[in-house]
Chain A
Amino acid sequence: MNNNNKQELKLAASTRTPVSVRNWRTALEKWKDFMFALPAIALLAVFLYYPLVNSFYISLTNWNMTRPVKKFVGIDNYTYLLGHEDFYQSLKITFTYTIMDVVLTLAIGLLLALLFNVSSRFYAFMRGIVFMPYYISMVIAAMVFVWIYNGKYGLLNRVVAMFGIDPVEWLINPSTVLPALVVVSVWKGVGFAMILFIAGLRSIPADYYEAAAIDGANRWMLFRHITLPLLSPMTLFLVITTFISSMQVFQSIDIMTNGGPLNASNAVVYWIYTMAFSQFRTGRASALIMIFFVIILLLTALQWFISRKKVHYEG
């Protein structure tokens, strides 16, 4: 140890901070990460965790939101729902809607992405047109579609009449109501899927295609063995986000069908709404929220686990 070092040590000893301040600083250092995240945690706690926990509490009561007394009923609300055919009927409607919505949005989105993945003004304009419905609020879109689907004076029946088909009450016929709702959702969401697929397509290095082409791969083989596998992270993302939003379908049902006709479009979230606010069964509606939360959570986790083996991340 030379003289300079000795002097520095002496200096450090003379300016050493008192023990209490040092402890405080160490403690602060230890909680630094937490403190930075505190505003976010506080927001989540107020707007997410507390409502979730409180919903669970309400689900164990027979509260109707206006009665001052919340009578504790244990798991009655859960056993009622799980033992009732309406619950399974509503789940079936929700799943049918979701499967149609996810498959069509992704398939058409991918098709449009492959079609419009060209750098030119015309194609950029076309992409803009396809993406446009995504900006429109669902409330407005749904109101426009109510008019399009109207059995008496709707646009759609005018079009099908040109092909000699009799007018159909699209939203009043139990067998056409779900497809009619899916069309609105696909029309609105397909542009977003297309843009993400195009982003995915553009991140695939051209080298792979060149190498495969040299090896004699045709266009289908290029798509099947290079494009699809390398698009899989984007596909997974879209499957999960579309799945969750489709499962929670509400606005279009509220405006276009009110869950009808004959409950044919009574999807779970809409049912929760009518149960809580029209039938004043807040406790039971909260139980349905909890059950549905667990179902979506499990299914999303399942999608993620299954796709872990199938999704190829570049590099």
Chain B
Amino acid sequence: MKTKKKWMTTMMAGGLALVVTACGSGDANNGGQSSANANNAPAPVEAAKVVESTEPITIQYWHSHAEAQMEGLNYMLEEFSKKYPHITVEPVFQGGYPDLHKKLQAAVAANDVPAVTNVEVSSLPTFGDSGVFTDLTPWILRDNTAMDDFSEGMINAYAFNGKQYGFPLIVSTSVFVYNKTLLDELGVQPPQTWDDIDAFNEAVTLKENGETTRYAFSVPGWDAWYFDPWMINGGGQILTDDQSASAVETPESMRYIENFYKWKTDGYMHIGYGKGASDNMRQMFLGGEIAMVQHTSANIKMYRENADFEIGVSFVPGDVKRISNIGGAGIAMMDGASDEEKEAAWKFIEHMTSAEHNIKWAESVGYLPTRKSAIDSEEGKQYFERWPQYEAVFEHFDDVTPRLQHIAYPEFRTHYIEVIGELALNNVDPATLMPQAAERINEILADYE
């Protein structure tokens, strides 16, 4: 018993020592950082210095490229090593975007970061705001990177608070994929405006004994990325102009969801929600139960390969506006990397997003080209001949806009997604729930101030 007590004392003393050390080290870090910040008064951005070195260097590239994209990545890496033989890029697959972001957080906390990484577009503000990514403006200025050659929306999606934290790499947007064979048979065109939707619904929906056996169209309810554009196209917005309060409950912002409620209740529209909803929607479309689905453009290839009918693609219908949001991931440089690594990283970023390889890269990974010059090139024309489905997207090249950029967006969007969820699962009138969602959003916004 006595020994046990002694043990306890020893362990508690050890524990206490650790408390002191833990708090001590934390305070020291904080102190160091804040004084450093105090000394760094905002200065105009200057072009980066040229670091011409052919010393061999190895940098890591953390990515989320799935198996299907690896062939394209390997080609790009080979081309890069031909151009810069002294730079070795080690690609490290870190899982999907949530896994990659988690590992980035841990790497930053451990102060052991890769030089280059992918970042999912909606998380860029959070990482940028925390100082995880380097502002690329000095290199852009130094090398006169042709920023206007990129789609405006795509490049802006990777800037935050006036700093260019990354470049668009694997870009997608949501589009309507439709059963062209069926629509041709029925003699209807996919709706281009909201006004066209009612007639489209009437012509395409099939009902038996009051039960819908074929829905006219489906909008995913599991991710705000799909219905945020509907809100904006209806004249609404997620936050007020100064981003200080919710705007999801305003009459303009509610127009789309009230339409959804009407179309769904009348049996014309399908809304997918919950785990596996994406698979279900795909199966229903391929099985002829839905005539048109809103999905990511990254899936066009998959639909074309799996459907036993002809696939058509249409840009999302518009009303007050006609936009669609950018999705996918970009490429960014980590601020914790050394100067030599940063120089190598910049060269790699430039190579991965260059106009020269833009079409080849886009086609091999199934994402969209980002460069105007590449699209207008001979190679670009051949690409559209092979993939006429993408034309609908590129007719609206500059209407693919960034998602809402706010550091709390990943947190507060869950509340209005739930309203769609209640509509999808329980057919609850959104008008009764949206004010509560707005309240929760305002609560979160207040917390960030």
The verdict on A125 contacting chain B, using a C-beta distance below 8 Å, is no
Query: A68 vs B26: C-alpha distance in the bound complex, in angstroms?
Result: 10
CA distance A281 to B444 in the complex (A): 12
Partner of A53, one of B7, B22, B276: B22
Stretch among A93-101, A219-227, A237-245, A272-280 lining the B interface: A272-280
B130 located at the interface, meaning its Cβ lies under 8 Å from any Cβ of chain A in the complex: yes
What is the minimal beta-carbon distance from B326 to any residue of chain A, in angstroms? 20
Q: Is A64 an interface residue (CB 8 A)?
A: yes
CB neighbors of A among B104-148 (8 A): 104-106, 108-109, 126-127, 130-132
Q: Mark B17-32, 1 if CB is under 8 A from A, else 0.
A: 0110011001001100
CA distance A67 to B273 in the complex (A): 34
CB neighbours of A261 from chain B (8 A): 273-275, 421, 425
Tell me if A182 counts as interface (CB < 8 A to partner B): no
A277/B34 in contact, CB under 8 A: no
Question: Does B3 lie within 8 Å of A50, measured CB to CB?
Answer: no
Known A54-B22, A152-B280; contact A41-B275, beta-carbon cutoff 8 A: no
Bound Cα distance A37, B130 (Å):
42
Q: How far is the CA of A64 from the CA of B15 in the complex (A)?
A: 25
Q: Which of the 9-residue segments A4-12, A167-175, A193-201, A204-212 touches chain B?
A: A167-175
The reply to whether B10 and A34 contact each other, CB–CB distance below 8 Å, is yes
A67 engages B22 (CB within 8 Å): no
Cβ of A68 and Cβ of B422 under 8 Å apart?
A: no
What chain A residues lie within 8 Å of B342 (beta carbons)?
Answer: none
Q: Is B82 an interface residue (CB 8 A)?
A: no
| Distance A4 CA – B274 CA, assembled complex (angstroms) | 92
- Is B418 in contact with chain A by the CB < 8 A criterion? yes
A49 & B418 in contact (Cβ 8 Å cutoff): no
Complex alpha-carbon distance, A153 and B131, angstroms: 46
Query: Given A64-B130, A260-B421, A280-B126, are A172 and B105 also a contact pair (CB < 8 Å)?
Result: no
B92 interface residue per 8 A CB criterion: no
Instruction: For B109, list chain A residues within 8 Å (CB).
Output: 65-66
Measured in the bound complex, the distance between the Cα atoms of B421 and A263 in whole Å is 10
Residues of B within 8 A of A257 (CB): 274-275
Determine if B15 and A53 form an interchain contact, defined as CB atoms under 8 angstroms apart.
yes
Closest Cβ of chain A to B40, distance in Å, is 12
Map CB proximity to B onto A144-155 as digits: 1 under 8 Å, 0 otherwise.
Answer: 001000111100
Measured CB to CB, the nearest residue on chain A to B36 is A68
**Contact call A57/B26, Cβ cutoff below 8 A:** yes
CA separation between A134 and B180, bound complex, in Å? 49
**Chain B contact residues (Cβ within 8 angstroms of A): what range?**
35 or more
Pick from B29, B102, B277, B410: contact of A68, CB under 8 Å: B29
Q: B10 — which chain A residues lie within 8 A by C-beta?
A: 34, 41
Q: A57 CA to B19 CA in the complex, in Å?
A: 8
Most buried by A among B7, B23, B276: B276
Chain A residues near B280 (CB-CB < 8 A): 150-152
Q: A172-B275, A262-B422, A279-B410 are in contact. Are A67 and B131 (CB under 8 A)?
A: yes
| Chain A residues in 8 Å Cβ range of B425 | 172-174, 261-262
A50 and B18 in contact, given A57-B26, A153-B283, A279-B410 (Cβ under 8 angstroms): yes
* CB of B266 within 8 Å of the partner chain: no
B98 partner residues in chain A, CB cutoff 8 A: 277-278
Question: Which listed residue, B30, B130, B276, touches A66 by the CB 8 Å rule?
Answer: B130
A158 within 8 Å of B by Cβ? no
B437 to chain A, nearest CB (A): 12
Which among A33, A57, A171 is the interface contact of B23 at CB below 8 angstroms? A57
Q: Tell me if B411 and A70 are in contact (CB < 8 A).
A: no
**Is B275 touching A146 in the complex (CB atoms < 8 A)?**
yes
Smallest beta-carbon distance B123→chain A, Å: 8
B33 within 8 A of A: yes
Q: How far is the CB of B213 from chain A (nearest CB, A)?
A: 14
Residues of B within 8 A of A67 (CB): 130-131
Nearest residue, chain B, Cβ from A274: B414
Check: B187 CB closer than 8 A to any chain A CB: no
B-contacting residues, A149-165, CB 8 Å: 150-153
CB contact between A70 and one of B11, B30, B101, B283 (< 8 Å): that residue: B30
Q: Which residues of chain A are near B56, meaning CB under 8 Å?
A: none
Interface pair A70/B421, CB less than 8 Å apart? no
A residues in contact with B18, CB < 8 Å: 45, 49-50, 53
Inter-chain contacts of A34 with B (CB < 8 A): 6-7, 10
Bound-state Cα–Cα, A152 to B287, Å: 11
B275 and A260 contacting across the interface, CB-CB below 8 Å: yes
Kindly state the separation between the CA atoms of A41 and B11 in the bound complex, as whole angstroms.
Answer: 8
- Taking the complex as formed, is B14 at the interface, i.e. its CB lies under 8 A from any CB of chain A? yes
Q: Most B CB atoms within 10 A — which of A153, A173, A278?
A: A278
Q: Is the CB of B131 within 8 A of A172?
A: no
Cβ-based interface call for A69 (8 A): yes
Closest residue to A61 on the B side, CB-wise?
B26
List chain A residues, Cβ under 8 A from B26.
57, 70
* Cα–Cα distance between A262 and B3 once the two chains are bound (Å): 53
Option from A66, A150, A172 in Cβ contact (under 8 Å) with B126: A66
Chain A residues with CB under 8 A of B421:
260-262
Which 6 pairs from chain A and chain B are nearest by CB? A172-B274, A66-B130, A279-B411, A261-B274, A65-B105, A67-B130
Q: What are 23 residue pairs bridging A and B, where the CB atoms are less than 8 Å apart in the complex?
A: A33-B7, A41-B10, A54-B22, A57-B19, A57-B22, A64-B130, A66-B105, A66-B127, A66-B130, A67-B130, A70-B30, A146-B276, A171-B276, A172-B275, A257-B274, A258-B275, A260-B274, A261-B273, A277-B98, A278-B410, A278-B411, A280-B410, A280-B411
Residues of A with Cβ closer than 8 Å to B? 33-34, 37, 41, 45, 49-50, 53-54, 57, 64-70, 80, 146, 150-153, 169, 171-174, 256-258, 260-263, 277-282
Besides the known contacts A34-B7, A280-B105, 4 further A-B residue pairs in the complex with CB atoms under 8 A apart: A45-B15, A53-B19, A172-B276, A282-B105
